[in-house]
Amino acid sequence: MAAYFDPGSPFSALRAIDLGKRLFDQSWLEQWIGYTTAWVEPVADLGAGTVTALLPDTLLTVLSEGILSRFGGREISVTLLGHRLTGTLDVLKVRRRGAHFQTKSVLRELRWDNRDIHEVTVISHEVRLVPGVPTRVRANRVDIDGTVTVESVLGWLADRQREWELSVTDRGRIHAVHRRKRITAELDASVTDDTLELVVHRARWSGIPVPRRWRTMKPIRIAELPHGARVRRAVRDGDLVRFTIELGPVDGSFDLAQIRSAIVAGTTLIVF
């Protein structure tokens, strides 16, 4: 429906009243709402119990297109397995890979609980959906590639290494000062396949330089991480740290009605 106003035509109170009625007509509003949210209607139907052979394809397509349409280029909030994530959604894709699916999402300026991540790309492999209330979702493997500032990494380490005072040098290296033993060091760190390697460039004890042969450190094996996570790679690149993390099988579930309401209202998506 389109309404036009011709400034050259005489004013008609009856026409104005008619236009007002049409603008506030309930059926017209319902049609507009139905049109602008048409992409979420299949979710409502599925939540009501409609099941077809193409359910996983339909559901994943509707969800990905709906979420991207609503939040693409904008801030999105997600509660994922009890963790709060907030960031700008740039990419969300779903592809069929044989009997399963593969999903890819890219977010920037991400805040994961109290940790800031510059950018992250998450690819979930062998994704399966099990219809029901709630709907179950399982990924056989999840690859996470991202970048985080060195300052954010040091903030995370400071919570776990309270005997050391950590800061960043002009070269982007780590400057470490032991709070009790009068040891200072300038070092780099990298991770390859769950193995931490530390390279000490300079070190002093009570102001006395430590010889190079005493600065050599053996690689350190990282302790087992939650959810079967493995740090494949983490290296410093200027003021950033580029990392790759692999997660083992991940299980979750979501309420279709909650997801639909969150997409329409622009509120938090919950996967638990």
The one-digit pLDDT tens for each residue of the chain (272 residues) are 333 334 444 444 444 445 444 444 444 444 444 444 544 454 454 444 444 444 567 777 777 878 888 888 889 988 877 788 899 999 999 888 888 889 999 999 999 877 889 999 999 999 988 877 788 889 999 999 999 998 888 887 777 677 888 888 888 888 889 888 889 999 898 999 999 898 899 999 888 998 888 888 888 888 777 778 899 999 999 889 999 999 989 888 888 778 878 877 778 888 77
DSSP string spanning the chain?
Answer: ------TTSPP-HHHHHHHHHHHT-HHHHHHHHHHHTGGGHHHHHHHTT---TTHHHHHHHHHHHHHHHHHBTSEEEEEETTEEEEEEEEEEEEEEETTEEEEEEEEEEEEETTEEEEEEEEEEEEEEEE-SSSEEEEEEEEEEEEEEEHHHHHHHHHTT-TTEEEEE-TTS-EEEEETTT-EEEEEEEEEETTEEEEEEEEEEETTEEPPGGGT----EEPPPPGGG-EEEEEEEETTEEEEEEEE--EEEEE-HHHHHHHHHHT--EEE-
Contact between 126 and 140 under an 8 Å Cβ cutoff? The reply is yes
The neighbouring-strand residues paired with 188 are: 199
Q: How high is the pLDDT of residue 14?
A: 47
Going by C-alpha positions, the residue among 258, 217, 270 that lies closest to residue 77 is 270
Q: What's the confidence (pLDDT) of residue 17? A: 44
Does the predicted model carry a pTM greater than 0.85?
Answer: no
Amino acid 22: pLDDT? 47
Beta bridge partners of 204: 184, 209
Q: Which residues, 6 or more positions from 121, have their beta carbon under 8 angstroms from its beta carbon?
A: 91, 104, 105, 106, 144, 145, 146
> How long is the chain?
272
pLDDT at 120: 94
